[in-house]
Amino acid sequence: MSAPNHFDLLATDGPARAGRLTTPHGVVRTPAFMPCGTAGAMKGVHWREVRDAGSDIVLGNTYHLMLRPGAERIASLGGLQHFTGWNGPMLTDSGGFQVMSLSELRKVSEQAVTFRSHIDGTRIELSPERSIEVQLLLGSDIAMQLDECVRLPAERSDIERAMQLSLRWGERSKRAFETAAPGYMLFGIAQGGDDAELRRASARGLVDIGFHGYAIGGLAVGEPQAVMLAMIEEVAPILPEARPRYLMGVGTPDDILEAVARGIDMFDCVMPTRNGRHGMAFTRFGQINLRNARHADDPRPLDEESAWPSTNGISRAYLHHLVRSGETLGAMLLSEINIAYYQRLMADIRDAISRGTFADFRERTRTGWAKGDIAPR
């Protein structure tokens, strides 16, 4: 059963793709990076800054939002986009990943995953049907199927069992999604751990079911980058060219560059905001630790060639002082600076693909990172 397609493939450059995904709340230029607004907020960043930085779409976490403030409440308040004031495209995960990583006393059965809330201990059952119901209540532009993500390393039999369960949950998720309004999308998620054969089987199973788009899950959980890239190389060729491909939870700028080179269109990661809260800045010189004493007397900005005001207009000395003093403003500025860096990277990637110069861009960008930061003043 084919689902309507809202993705336009605009250009390719080798396996790298540039496209446009049309959602009920707006258009997403791909390759796209989705900053994570976990519980309905981007940590330390105003929504207008997220948008100004060039973000077309953001991610919300179903697990957090269903526990607090609750899906029914968000629905009655006009949906997640209106509730938060972001008012643009939003993708929500299924809740499954956070159930595994945050909740207690979880139990996976064929029917559902059962867990206790990490907030108040309430016992909650999350089935594929309830996950979709919650995501529809949130008004998510792109919902994700419920899946089971196995921690690596794991026995092949465990990986296979979880992958097969995820396929059955994918089918149930799709049936539950039939009531969604036109234009809203559901993505299936390929599992299979670090096993090439299981990954391929998962991808084929998903394509047989038929989704608006396809995600690769269960990666970026600590495995070497080479394993992650190898799994993408197994899965991507099986996925329909006309559909968007989303690599979940990835990653560093280098991970993104390499995954785009293997045909991925969408990414999400907490890294820009989380690392920003820890005094780290992403720049074309690589990642810079503002806690380092080398910045204490440096009046220069992080990168005077950046177009982002906080990147080209605020001294390293001031950022260093804010980070060392534990001032909220330091985390706020670095989070915003990092989101802007990621979105600039995505814009440059899209541009390079459209011009057919992606391989060159990838080389130049990696060379810049490898060269490292400018010398201390």
Residue 322 within binding range of a copy of itself, rule CB under 8 A: yes
Q: Is 93 a catalytic residue?
A: yes
CB atoms under 10 Å from CB of 56, counted, come to 21
Task: Out of 27, 41, 221, 229, point to the residue binding a copy of itself (CB under 8 A).
Answer: 41
Pick from 4, 222, 224, 299 the residue near a copy of itself by CB under 8 A.
Answer: 299
Q: Which amino acid would we find at residue 270?
A: V
Region binding a copy of itself by CB under 8 A among candidate stretches 7-15, 21-29, 62-70, 229-237: 62-70
Among residues 76, 111, 179, 357, which is the contact residue for a copy of itself, using CB under 8 A?
Answer: 76
Q: CA 56, CA 35: separation in Å to the nearest integer?
A: 10
State the Cα angle at 317 between 315 and 320, rounded to 5°. 115
- Closest approach of a copy of itself to the CB of residue 303, in Å: 16
Which lies closer to a copy of itself via its Cβ, residue 46 or residue 355? 46
Task: Tell me the DSSP string of 330-360.
Answer: HHHHHHHHHHHHHHHHHHHHHHHHHHT-HHH
Nearest approach, Cβ of residue 234 and a copy of itself (Å): 38
Of the candidate residues 100, 315, 347, 369, the single one contacting a copy of itself (CB under 8 A): 315
Site for a copy of itself in 179-238 (CB under 8 A): none
CB of 105 to a copy of itself, least distance (A): 22
> How many residues belong to the site for a copy of itself (CB under 8 A)?
37
Residue 324 makes contact with a copy of itself by CB under 8 A: yes
DSSP class of residue 160 equals H
Using CB under 8 A, which of 125, 155, 208, 297 touches a copy of itself?
297
How near is the Cβ of 131 to a copy of itself at its closest, in Å? Answer: 21
Among 26, 321, 348, 374, binds a copy of itself (CB under 8 A): 321
d(C-alpha 155, C-alpha 263), whole Å: 29
Contact indicator for 326, 313 with CB cutoff of 8 Å? no
Which part of the chain contacts a copy of itself (CB under 8 A), choosing from 9-17, 41-49, 106-114, 354-362? 41-49
Residues pairing with 8 in the sheet = 20
- Per-residue DSSP letter, 366: H
CB nearer a copy of itself, residue 72 or residue 208: 72
Q: How far apart are the first and last CA of the chain?
A: 62
Verify binding: residue 68, a copy of itself, rule CB under 8 A: yes
**268 counts as catalytic:** yes
Question: Is residue 43 a contact residue for a copy of itself (CB under 8 A)?
Answer: yes
Question: Is residue 22 left, alpha or beta, with left meaning phi > 0 and alpha meaning psi from -120 to 50?
Answer: beta
Beta strands in the chain (DSSP E): 7-13, 16-23, 26-30, 32-35, 58-60, 90-92, 104-108, 113-116, 123-126, 142-144, 185-190, 213-216, 245-247, 266-269, 280-283, 286-289
Task: Residue 241: name the closest of 31, 8, 57 by CA.
Answer: 8
Decide if residue 327 touches a copy of itself (CB under 8 A). yes
Q: In terms of Cα–Cα distance, which of 107, 179, 103 is closest to 137?
A: 179
- Active site residue: 13, 194, 255, 268, which one? 268
Give the Cα separation of 58 and 73 in Å (integer): 20
Catalytic residue among 93, 141, 194, 265: 93
Nearer to a copy of itself, 19 or 301 (CB): 301
Q: Which stretch binds a copy of itself (CB under 8 A): 129-137, 141-149, 313-321, 348-356?
A: 313-321
Nearest residue to 142 via CA among 90, 210, 97 = 90
The span from the CA of 38 to the CA of 351, in Å, is 29
Stretch that binds a copy of itself, among 51-59, 75-83, 203-211, 226-234 (CB under 8 A): 75-83
Q: Which stretch binds a copy of itself (CB under 8 A): 37-45, 157-165, 250-258, 344-352?
A: 37-45
Residue 118 C-beta: closest distance to a copy of itself, Å = 12
By CB under 8 A, residue 313 contacts a copy of itself: yes
> Tokens standing for 218?
């269960």
Report, as residue numbers or ranges, the catalytic residues.
93, 268
Given the rule CB under 8 A, which residues bind a copy of itself?
39-46, 64, 68-69, 73, 76-78, 83-85, 296-297, 299, 313-315, 317-318, 320-322, 324-325, 327-332
